[in-house]
């Protein structure tokens, strides 16, 4: 087993309804970086799952006339199907209704209570039911919830509190001493200036107003506040305070918690403070990506303006969708979902640039060499600059991947694809093919193109695993030449391989065949 480990998590999503393209983006991004780290020899662990307790779920289940557990079971089955459809290679799917998780939460709550970090008092505040958050008057924006803009209600109840303020200085110090902890940088400043520096309030961590939650075992009637139930999933999944084989020692602290910017506050304030209280190391990085917006607004289950990824995959294929969301969301910023853009990515980047490079190269190799490129080869103009780019690209892609800048990583891969297409225009193999004297030069041109395709296959394999498989199959490239090490040096494509052109990787989409896939 590799010494280098990489533990990544997505948020555990609310199974209040089916997931949409926003959740799909986070999960595809986590899958892509996991596959990439695996390619580079890391022992990876990828956790995703569902956050199943709370008043909101209890309400939708009641409306549907079923028990909360029956309701979430149905939604979770759909989510697991979605991740299979999206080719998500998670190692574990945690549900907060898993008995082991519930036991761990009770133990954590008790431990924090016993050591004096949790105490009992009365809560009075403004409560936002959809967000399950209490707010102080000063945090409200125009009298409404600062997170979702919906109305809040005055509420008061007996509750347990967590002494957040006790850890505020330590948290600030940690954030300042670990510049990579909150990414991107702009989110870090927002957390420090808007939340930590103005002073942390003690956090209300139990509820008595509803029952669908993990019971506080030493005080019946109280259930654990949903974020205290949800955040520790990242350690309960690894067996923390549990008698399962302990993955904690191997994978904790997490390398990245990948989250949307809507929940970065919970992950960079509450979660590190819980960990400090438990005397556990903090995650190395919390990365808050932007939102996928739809016609000017954020897509959201509760607003109801969602794009169903299953419908898009049916229509366009899994890798087209994976490529589109990864390419469209630039680092840390919001992206707009737009079906025209998806179709244009398919036609231009995937069908035209990548698909044509593969089919033209293989077709010419078959035509001029019966599929097996001759070993008698002659270098010539344009080779050096192509080879230089091909040898430089893996390291550049790797840097962007490590920063979770998928869009730029793909852009760099596409520079090599475009350069290869340009090389075809420059060397004009169809002209060389007419002259028997130029056979050796033609062989070198085809070899260089095939070699670029091998390198591209490896580079895209994390973002588009299915396409990489199809390419490897047509290139007939043995697995040992599809490793990260094997693409560091140009010229490893083995001799004597007979390539075989099959169907196009991405058929072009005719624009008039596209229908709107947004439900509004």
For the annotated binding site for Zn(2+), the residues are 128, 131, 145, 148
**Residue showing the smallest CB distance to ligand ME8 in the complex:** 22
In this structure, the number of other CB atoms found within 10 A of the CB of residue 258 comes to: 23
Looking at beta carbons only, is 251 or 291 nearer to ligand ME8? 291
Query: Which residue number, 14 or 135, has a Cβ lying nearer to ligand ME8?
Result: 14
Coil, strand or helix: which one is 6? strand
* Among 123, 291, 323, 493, interactor with ligand ME8 by CB under 6 A: 291
Minimum distance of ligand ME8 from residue 295's CB (angstroms)? 12
Q: Quick one: how far is CA 61 from the chain centroid?
A: 28
What is the 3-state composition of the chain as percent helix, strand, coil, each rounded to the nearest 5? 50, 15, 35
Residue (of 339, 321, 359, 285) closest to 512 by Cα position: 339
Q: Does 299 bind ligand ME8 (CB under 6 A)?
A: yes
Only segment of 20-28, 112-120, 212-220, 242-250 that touches ligand ME8 (CB under 6 A): 20-28
Binding mask 225-264 for ligand ME8 (x = CB under 6 A): -----xx-x-------------------------xx-xx-
Question: 175-182, long-range: CB within 8 Å, 24+ apart, which pairs?
Answer: 175/268, 178/282, 180/284, 180/285, 181/268, 181/282, 181/283, 181/284, 181/285, 181/286, 182/264, 182/268, 182/285, 182/286, 182/288
Of 9-17, 120-128, 138-146, 399-407, which segment contacts ligand ME8 by CB under 6 A?
9-17
Contact residue for ligand ME8 among 6, 25, 161, 287 (CB under 6 A): 25
Residue 79, judged by CB atoms within 10 A of its CB (0-12, 13-18, 19+), counts as buried
Q: Choose, by CB under 6 A, the member of 7, 8, 11, 427 that binds ligand ME8.
A: 11
If one asks whether residue 12 binds ligand ME8 (CB under 6 A), the answer comes out as yes
Q: Tell me the closest approach of the beta carbon of residue 291 to ligand ME8, in angstroms.
A: 4
Residue 242 near residue 228, CB atoms below 8 Å: no
Of 196 and 259, nearer to ligand ME8 (C-beta) is: 259
- Residue with token string 């986590």: 30
CB-nearer residue toward ligand ME8: 191 or 292: 292
Q: Which residues contact residue 181 at a Cβ distance below 8 angstroms, ignoring those fewer than 6 apart?
A: 174, 175, 188, 268, 282, 283, 284, 285, 286
Cβ at position 394, least distance to ligand ME8 in Å: 29
Element (H, E) at 421: helix 406-427
List binders of ligand ME8 among 397-456 (CB under 6 A). none
Taking the complex as a whole, the smallest distance from the CB of residue 313 to ligand ME8 amounts, in Å, to 17
Give the residues lining the site for ligand ME8 (CB under 6 A).
11-14, 22-23, 25-26, 51, 230-231, 233, 259-260, 262-263, 291-292, 298-299
């Amino acid at each position: 087993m590799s010494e280098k480990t990489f533990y990544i998590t997505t948020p555990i999503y609310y199974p209040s309804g089916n997931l949409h393209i926003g959740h799909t983006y986070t999960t595809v991004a986590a899958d892509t970086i996991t596959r990439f780290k695996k390619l580079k020899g890391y022992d990876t662990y990828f956790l995703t799952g569902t956050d199943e307790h709370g008043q909101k779920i209890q309400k939708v289940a009641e409306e549907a006339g079923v028990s909360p557990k029956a309701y979430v079971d149905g939604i979770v089955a759909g989510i697991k199907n979605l991740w299979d459809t999206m080719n998500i290679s998670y190692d574990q799917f945690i549900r907060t209704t898993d008995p082991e998780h519930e036991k761990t939460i009770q133990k954590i709550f008790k431990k924090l209570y016993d050591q004096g970090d949790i105490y009992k008092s009365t809560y009075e505040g403004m409560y936002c039911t959809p967000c399950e958050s209490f707010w102080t008057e000063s945090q409200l924006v125009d009298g409404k919830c600062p997170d979702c803009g919906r109305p809040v209600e005055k509420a008061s109840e007996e509750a347990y509190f967590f002494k957040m303020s006790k850890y505020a200085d330590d948290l600030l110090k940690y954030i300042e001493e670990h510049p990579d902890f909150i990414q991107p940088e702009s989110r870090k400043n927002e957390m420090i200036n808007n939340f930590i520096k103005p002073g942390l309030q003690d956090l209300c961590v139990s509820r008595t107003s509803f029952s669908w939650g993990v019971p506080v075992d030493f005080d019946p009637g109280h259930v654990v506040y949903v974020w205290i139930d949800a955040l520790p999933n990242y350690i309960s999944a690894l067996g923390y305070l549990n008698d399962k084989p302990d993955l904690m020692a191997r994978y904790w602290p997490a390398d990245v918690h990948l989250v949307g910017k809507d929940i970065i506050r919970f992950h960079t304030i509450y979660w590190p403070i819980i960990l400090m209280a438990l005397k556990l190391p903090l995650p190395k990085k919390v990365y808050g990506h932007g939102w996928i917006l739809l016609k000017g607004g954020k897509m959201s289950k509760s607003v109801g303006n969602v794009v169903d990824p299953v419908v898009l995959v049916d229509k366009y294929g899994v890798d087209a969708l994976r490529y589109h969301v990864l390419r469209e969301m630039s680092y840390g910023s919001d992206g707009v979902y737009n079906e025209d853009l998806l179709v244009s990515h398919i036609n231009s980047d995937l069908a035209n640039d990548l698909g044509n490079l593969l089919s033209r190269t293989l077709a010419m190799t078959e035509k001029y060499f019966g599929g097996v490129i001759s070993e008698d080869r002659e270098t010539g103009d344009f080779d050096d600059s192509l080879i230089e780019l091909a040898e430089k690209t893996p390291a550049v892609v790797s840097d962007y991947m490590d920063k979770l800048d998928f869009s730029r990583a793909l852009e760099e891969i596409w520079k090599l694809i475009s350069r290869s297409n340009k090389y075809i225009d420059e060397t004009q193999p169809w002209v060389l093919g007419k002259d028997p004297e130029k056979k050796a030069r033609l062989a070198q041109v085809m070899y260089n193109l095939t070699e670029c395709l091998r390198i591209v296959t490896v580079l895209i394999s994390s973002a588009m695993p299915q396409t990489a498989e199809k390419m490897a199959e047509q290139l007939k490239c043995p697995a040992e030449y599809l490793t990260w090490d094997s693409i560091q040096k140009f010229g490893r494509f083995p001799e004597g391989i007979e390539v075989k052109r099959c169907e196009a990787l991405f058929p072009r989409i005719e624009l008039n065949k596209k229908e709107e896939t947004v439900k509004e």
